[in-house]
């Protein structure tokens, strides 16, 4: 477990989301881009796809455009999941946005990096063999609630790096 995750485990998730501020690397609008994961990550992402719930935070799964084994949507506006995304810039040494103390939260055994977006939050798993990203529009605040419905599937299909 990373130092930034350890320091945040004692904070309630809702308070953490209220206080968190970050940079937006994408605007989240329009059709979601589909990742092109490595072969190893693609295998994990396909397993995750099979385990994803039909509802997330009370929202039914919706048709994803474009259709992919590496992405899923729930609701309208869509809560969007992408599996096999690149390492977030906040966690990439040498990148312009690198921040080794970025805010994170642990939900049911899965660590997530938090990034405030123009409308909502982007969450990206940390400490896993593949990165899974979830973008939740502000309409569904507190946005962290969606993570509880996905943590089990991620835990079962995307192993920890440790």
pLDDT, tens only, 52-88: 999 999 999 998 778 899 999 999 999 999 999 999 9
* Confidence band, pLDDT 50/70/90 cuts, at residue 1: very low
Provide the residue ranges of all domains of the chain, joining segments of one domain with +. Answer: 3-23+36-157
pLDDT at residue 64, rounded to an integer: 77
State pLDDT tens for residues 16-60. Answer: 333 333 333 333 445 678 888 999 999 999 999 999 999 999 999
CA angle 112, 118, 88 (to 5 degrees): 35
Output the pLDDT for position 85.
96
pTM of this structure:
0.79
Neighbours of 72 (CB within 10 A): 23
126-159: pLDDT as tens digits: 999 999 999 999 999 999 999 999 999 999 999 9
Arithmetic mean of pLDDT, 96-107: 92
């Amino acid at each position: 477990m990373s130092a930034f995750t350890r320091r945040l485990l004692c904070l309630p998730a809702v308070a953490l989301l209220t206080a968190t501020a970050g940079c937006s690397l994408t605007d989240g609008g329009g059709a979601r881009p589909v990742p092109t994961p490595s072969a190893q990550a693609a295998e994990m992402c396909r397993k995750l796809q099979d385990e994803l719930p039909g509802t997330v935070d009370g929202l039914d799964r919706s048709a994803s455009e474009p259709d992919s084994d590496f992405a899923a949507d729930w609701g309208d506006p869509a809560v969007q999941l992408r599996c096999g995304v690149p390492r977030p810039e906040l966690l990439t040494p040498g990148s312009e946005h690198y921040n080794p103390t970025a805010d994170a939260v642990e939900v049911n055994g899965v660590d997530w990096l938090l990034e405030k977006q123009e409308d909502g939050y982007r969450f990206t798993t940390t400490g896993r063999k593949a990165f899974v990203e979830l973008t939740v529009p502000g309409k569904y605040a507190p946005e962290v609630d969606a993570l509880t419905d996905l943590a089990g599937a991620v835990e079962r299909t995307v192993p920890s790096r440790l």
